[in-house]
Structure 1
Amino acid sequence: MCILLCAQWSFGQNKDDAASKTQAVFDTFTRYRHQNKIDKALEILDKAAEIAENNEDSKLLLDTFHEYARIFLEEGDRETALFYLDRANILLKEPTYSYGQAVHNYLEAALRFDEGNNFQSLKLLEESRKLSNNRNLGNNILLLEAYIFTNIERYDDAIKNLHALIVNSDDKERAFLATKANLQLASISLELNDLEEGIIHSKAALELAQKHDFSKDIKTANERLALIYEKSGDFHESLVYSKALIQVRDSIFNVEKAKLEAETGDDIRFKHLNSELVKTTAERDEARESKSRSEITLILTSAFLTIISLLAVSLFRNNQIKLKTNDLLYTKNKELELARDSAVSAMEAKTNFLSTVTHELRTPLYAVTGLTHLLLEENPAEHQKEHLKSLKFSGDYLLNFINDILQINKIDADKLEPLNIEFKLQKVLKDVVDSLQQNANEKNTKLILDYDSKIPLQLLGDPIKLSQVFMNLVGNALKFTKDGKVEVIAKMLRKDEENVKLYFEVKDSGIGISEEQQKHIFDSFEQGSIQINREYGGTGLGLTIVKSLLGLFDSKIHLESELGEGSSFFFEMDLKCDTKALQEVSFELASEEFNFKGLHLLVVEDNKINQVITKKMLTKKEITCDIANNGNEAIDLAKSNTYNAILMDIHMPGISGEEATRQIRKFDQEIPIIALTAISLDDSLDSFYEAGCNDVVTKPFKPEVFYQKIGENIFRKKEEGLV
């Protein structure tokens, strides 16, 4: 009994010693891998493989193959990584080892991520997490998930994972994981243009990497800081980190080091290939000794040995070629990155220039159109009317041109997103038709709305952008149609529970479009020909805007036309509907029905000329007003006086109109506030409504629109009270 107990104790002690020795080997390997000392890391890992084979420990050998696969995958050698993953996969078929299967799934996920299959990778990571609760593996899963979330622009999820890794308590890779997390947060901050946050995380990563000698991460952190400081305009700091980057790169990517790492990797690969050859040879000898094996098996075994040998030679040659190719690719990638950065900078400069110009033109244009309207209202002499009408026409033309340029600029800058709100389609189309009826009368053209009564009353979508689409299509049809007819058609194609498919068409009997012109009709500044542009005017942007806006709804515009026979623009659109909506009674008033007399408004405007124009336009309707020169005055006047409504300019020195609106809403939730703004590329209508505005009127505005908005917002509460 004593002998048996001693033997058991001795066996247990030997097993513990082997496990301790193996763990020490893996810890050393991890340190070398973090420090990018690939040759030493592979040599250490080779020792672990020897221990596993000597002890016939299949689980340890599986872990070793997984580490081989990981390090070669990190070095970009997918072929060798797959070789070791295949060998690991064979061992997984033996007795169940849940941790080994979990790591295998993690590495498979890394391969799918490398291929760009983000969602397959996420699925594999979820399976890996279920198989093992190992802390180190869990942290590595969090990091890979963060990379994937960044790829698919789920930035909030990525940031959540990365912040958890910064404060991780991993007993193996705490500093390394925190460094990687900071680098990825810096990358996300750069994507979101949060340069200050990017600097904070890059410096944190650099400090950790320098402290622990993570050479690759030192290089990456210096690259990030050089780029961020360059984007922020701090070229001195950018130069400092660029110089540091050159020094680090020289130390990491020198020829001797690359050669040594390649030779070490080749030695180990050939060693394992040779091991396979020896094993196969032994099997072949055994096959020869066994009479039961046929000559065909021997031939196949020899052929397999030949293939393995050729594969080994091929791998060696490929690695030599790969080293040379990588240098060339690195150089070309840098050139492409510089070209890309230049193109992005040029696009941003163009966008900012157009945004600034269109915004600044609106202020003087407001004075031109406003004063022209007032002069026409004051019964000018007959010989003056013609000049004033010409001036009004020129002002309206210039305003439409500015609006089109701004709209195209927003589309190019990806700053348009469709809304998803309740609206009445029939009202949207009727408003478009009514607003363009005067144009139709001037052209002696019938403007007809053909609306399908089967279409649900309430729909969910973006009525503003839909209105813009029809304003452009109908306006375009009227421009090229005289003494004819323009039809606006809305039909329901299909309806199920909450979805409806609609068909829209704008058809005219105008001059038509030739087949050649139809190829380019949706391009910017394209109207078919110079003669058409001179005869009919316009910017040539309307149909481009229509095409881009419909693209936001996954819809496509189609055209059928013949010269002299008219044109037809049509498209289909999927919308959601509210099946429970009831037919509502309309209490809307036409603009001429509003009785403005006796109203008292507060006008918030910092431009003196605009103050005079707005006041005179209100006086024409017997409306009195007080003037506030800035946001602070507006807040004080709103507190101490009673007004029927507030006309709030948005862009003012000091506090903006949005902030003034928020302050007023703290003590008055009822008063209608109408935003008056020369809207720019960076302005968001949503932000105006969120601040507390009831409506928005863009400057310069048409007088009838101006009066209509005032009437709607002041008298709406009275109508609601009647209801």
Structure 2
Amino acid sequence: MKKEFTYIKFFLNFLLLFVVGLQLVFSQENLSEKKIIDNYFYNSRDFKNQDKIDQALISLEKALKLAEEINDSKSIIDCYHEFALLYNKLNKDDQSIVFWDRAELLLKETEYPYGNAVHIYIDALYLYKGQKFYQSNYELNRAAQMTNERNLTLHILLMKGFIYLELPKFNEAAKNFNSLITNNDLIEKDYIATRAYIGLSILEQKKENTLTSIDYAKEGLLLAEKNSYFNEILELNRFLISAHQELNNFEPALLYSNNLLQIKDSIFNESKISSESKSANNIQFSLMNDVINTQDKEIEELKESGSRTQITAILTSAFLTIISLLAISLYRNNQIKLKTNDLLQTKNYELEASRDAAVKAMETKTTFLSTVSHELRTPLYAVTGLTHLLLDENPNDSQKEHLKALKFSGDYLLSFINDILQLNKIDADKLEPVNSEFNLKKVLSEVISSLQQSAKENKTKITLEYDENIPKNLLSDSMKLSQILINLVGNALKFTKKGEVKVITKLANKVDDNVTIYFEVKDNGIGIAEDQVNNIFNSFEQGSIQINREYGGTGLGLTIVKSLLGLFKSKINLKSTLGEGSSFFFEINMVCKKGIINDIAFEIENENEDYKFEGLHLLIVEDNKINQVITKKMLLKKDMTCDIASNGTDAVEMVSQNKYDAVLMDIHMPGISGEEATILIRKFNIYTPIIALTAISLDDSLESFYAAGCNDVVTKPFKPEVFYQKIGENIYHPKPLYS
């Protein structure tokens, strides 16, 4: 008996492994097919932008059929939406709405926030075409709140820009279009920039700045011709003809007229239009035919069931007697069920009310903490700045002791505010991974270099073990990866005295362009007790009250690491022995790129470079009087001179009339903001370094600062050494502008 049981158990285990293996095979096949669908989809979008509508329709039809084969609801919804956009471009509004309606039916059965956002975006497009601009703008705001997907967000900004032209709200339109010219979209970067140039051309023409509008149109035309955006080429040539005729410049007007005739003859001819219309009608017919075939199949099944009707009737009458006998019993049970359902419904209403109250409380908490964190920064900047200045003025010993205590308290409070703000950004879904090309060895070098001072204070050495097989050029979110590593290495340094912190990076796996990188931060510090390992990643946890009192800190660093890794769909792991040290490790999936970033030799700087500050002349843009005084005195300490602008408008005028080695730009100011001032400055000056010197809030985005034209960002309040280092770096080794 025991032997038979062993055989059965072996057979069941084998069967289970076989089923799991099949599931893995099917899963991999689905992933591969999903990649093919995405390729068809992106090819269709490229064809659409180049006005090769027939090829776009064919490619999209292939994507839809494959999505239906693997029953991928989200991809089917995406295809329906893209069909709606394509037919809208062909001015076939009825067909466009048919696909929009089909997507809506699927969305009712599928949890798909991005799909819902695109659905509302297309509805806003219909409203825009119907000249219902306010309604369209309202729908775009709804769509923007539902997703942070970059490509859709940029298209929303683009459409809002054209809506602002109609309302008219020229300042808002200019801000949108200027930010889109330097967008970093991975799918339609040049197309979005071309449309933004068209928007700026129309804007300047409406403002009667015809020469400026011509300059923007020429920039847009160059980009359109480079990428074969034929519809935009046609539109911009027409615009340039009209603009030159308005200035009585008949020779260039004639030149663009000839270009327009050639374009019409070679591109927008009858055969092309006929081909596109035929492809559109064929695909529409094919999809309609699929629906008809499905309905025919259902009718045949109903016919087959008709021959069984008589038998069913006989059997039904036979069961009627039994059913009658059960009716009384069922009635009584039904009464009990009704009472139970009423009770459950009441409880459900109570749970829904509790849920809504919890959501509202979370939103209130997030808003409150964001506001408090931001508002505390301005007075804290005064506290830390004045403390630093007083310490540099040779105070006596008793004063020095008090000032050092004040400085420590200010630094601690700043660290706490930064951690709270970071967690709230993650909790409020304000953060998402932003892919960009980077060199991993350079990122690790910068992280280790930035923490050398802390290591020196603890007499601890930081070393790096780097796998040279890791591709030199990777695509991921290097900024958030740096935050993760800074928190982990900083945490290790805090609990390691006279020891070693080791950063280990290895290539875990590589398939085609997809790579998995293994990271580990290892120390030989105090370690973590076994009973505390599971709690160490919770907010405000540091293992014990004694550890908190001895080593300080907020206990939020590892919580932030865990949350940030969640954005990468990864998780942090920990091995630790009390008294011997700890090891934190994780893996992140990335994509390797070819030939974009040069390899940078690894080198750790023990100390910041000594820059020559004497004689430098800077512009401080700051509306707060106390902050003006503090920043000015900090510059004077290094023998630098400065001018002060109290608002963005004055800053733009002063930069246009004077030469500055750098501009320290506050972001939050009355009138035009620091971002808007930077955009205006970059129109006539792209060389002077602009450093955003600002208190970051929950709604602020570092990317928007860089997109506006800032070279670097320093958050207030800041450490003086960081302040001087950033000034030196950006004047003597300027960073390239964001693109």
Question: C-alpha distance in 2, partners of 1:135/1:688?
Answer: 38
- Give the alignment partner of residue 141 of structure 1, picking from 102, 112, 117: 102
Q: Does 2:637 align with 1:637?
A: no
Match of 1:532 in 2: 547
Q: 2:422 aligned to 407, 420, 426, which one?
A: 407
Point out the structure with max Rg over C-alpha. Answer: 1
The residue identity in structure 2 corresponding to 1:404 is D
CA contact (8 A) 2:77 2:107 kept: no
What amino acid is the match of 2:570? S
Per the TM alignment, residue 597 of structure 1 is displaced from its structure 2 partner at its CA by 2.2
2:457 is the counterpart of 1:457:
no
For residue 622 of structure 1, report the CA deviation from its aligned partner: 1.9
Closer/same/farther in 2, CA of residues 460 and 277 from structure 1, 3 Å limit: closer
The residue that corresponds to 2:399 in the other structure is 384
| 1:325 Cα offset (Å) | 7.6
Q: Deviations over 1:435-483 (max 9, x none)?
A: 2222222222222222223322222222221111111111111111122
Corresponding residue of 1:594: 611
* CA distance in structure 2 between the aligned counterparts of 1:310 and 1:710, rounded to whole angstroms: 91
Q: Render the CA deviation track for 1:210-234: whole Å, top value 9, x for unaligned.
A: xxxxxxxxxxxxxxxxxxxxxxxxx
Correspondent of 2:120 among 159, 179, 184: 159
TM-score (norm 1): 0.60
2:180 equivalent in structure 1 = none
Contact 2:120–2:143 (8 Å) recurs in 1: no
Residue identity matched to 1:415: K
Q: Does 1:339 align with 2:354?
A: yes
Deviations 1:104-145 (A, max 9, x none): xxxxxxxx9xxx99549859999xx9xxx9999878536425
Distance 1:164 1:309, change over 3 A: farther
Q: Distance in 2 between matches of 1:649 and 1:525?
A: 32
Question: Which residue is equivalent to 2:298?
Answer: none
Compute the displacement of 1:548 (Å).
Answer: 0.6
Corresponding position of 2:599: 583
Structure 1 pair 152–636 and aligned structure 2 pair: CA distance change class (3 A): closer
Could you tell me whether the CA contact under 8 Å between 2:487 and 2:557 is conserved in 1? yes
Aligned twin of 2:703: 686
Written as runs of structure 1 = structure 2, the 5 A alignment for 1:124-273 is 141=102, 143-145=104-106, 147=108, 151-159=112-120, 162=123
Unaligned runs of 5+ in 2: 1-67, 85-93, 148-303
1:672 to 676, 681, 689: 689
TM-score, structure 2 normalization: 0.59
Q: What is the SS of the residue equivalent to 2:650?
A: helix
Given the superposition, is the C-alpha separation of residues 327 and 141 from structure 1 closer, same or farther in structure 2, using an over 3 Å criterion? farther
1:561 aligns with 2:595: no
Change in CA separation of 1:384 and 1:188 when aligned onto 2, cut-off 3 Å: closer
Partner of 1:705: 722
SS in 2 for 1:153: helix
Contact 2:448 2:604 in 1 (8 A): no
Q: Does 1:352 align with 2:402?
A: no
Residue 460 of structure 2: aligned partner: 445
User: Residues 645 and 148 (structure 1 numbering): CA distance in 2 closer, same or farther, change over 3 Å?
Assistant: farther
Quote the residue 2:156 is aligned against. none
Q: Which amino acid aligns with 1:658?
A: E
My pick for the range that moved more, 312-321 or 541-550, is 312-321
Contact 2:623 2:647 in 1 (8 A): yes
Farther off after superposition, 550-559 or 490-499: 490-499
Structure 1, unaligned runs of 5 or more: 1-111, 170-180, 194-275, 285-300
The structural deviation recorded for 1:540 is 0.7
* AA in 1 matched with 2:421: L
Whose RCO is larger (CA < 8 A, sep 6+)?
2
Matches within 5 A, 1:287-686: 306=318, 331-580=346-595, 581-584=597-600, 591-686=608-703
> Are the aligned partners of 1:366 and 1:700 in contact in 2 as well (CA < 8 Å)?
yes
**8 Å contact from structure 2 (residues 80, 99) kept in 1:** no
- Assess, with a 3 A threshold, how the Cα gap between structure 1 residues 310 and 597 changes in structure 2: closer, same or farther: farther
Residue 6 (structure 1) aligns with: none
Q: 1:636 to 1:315 in 2, by over 3 A?
A: farther
Which amino acid in the other structure matches residue 555 of structure 2? G
8 Å CA contact 1:118–1:148 kept in 2: the answer is no
RMSD: 4.4
Q: Percent identity?
A: 59
What is the deviation of 1:381? 3.1
**Mapped partners of 1:143, 1:496: distance in 2:** 37
Q: Deviations over 1:527-562 (max 9, x none)?
A: 111111111111111110001111111111111111
Cα 1:586–1:441 shift into 2, 3 Å: closer
CA distance in 1, matches of 2:140, 2:681: 39
Deviation at 1:674, TM superposition (A): 0.8
1:188 Cα shift? Answer: 5.7
Paired letter, 1:436: L
Question: AA paired with 1:523?
Answer: N
Deviations along 1:290-327, one digit per CA (max 9) or x if unpaired, are: xxxxxxxxxxx965764688789999979977987876
**Contact persistence 1:510–1:564 (CA under 8 A):** yes
Q: Distance in 2 between matches of 1:445 and 1:331?
A: 62
Q: How many residues align?
A: 495
Could you tell me which residue of structure 2 aligns to residue 28 of structure 1? none
In structure 2, the residue matched to 1:100 is: none
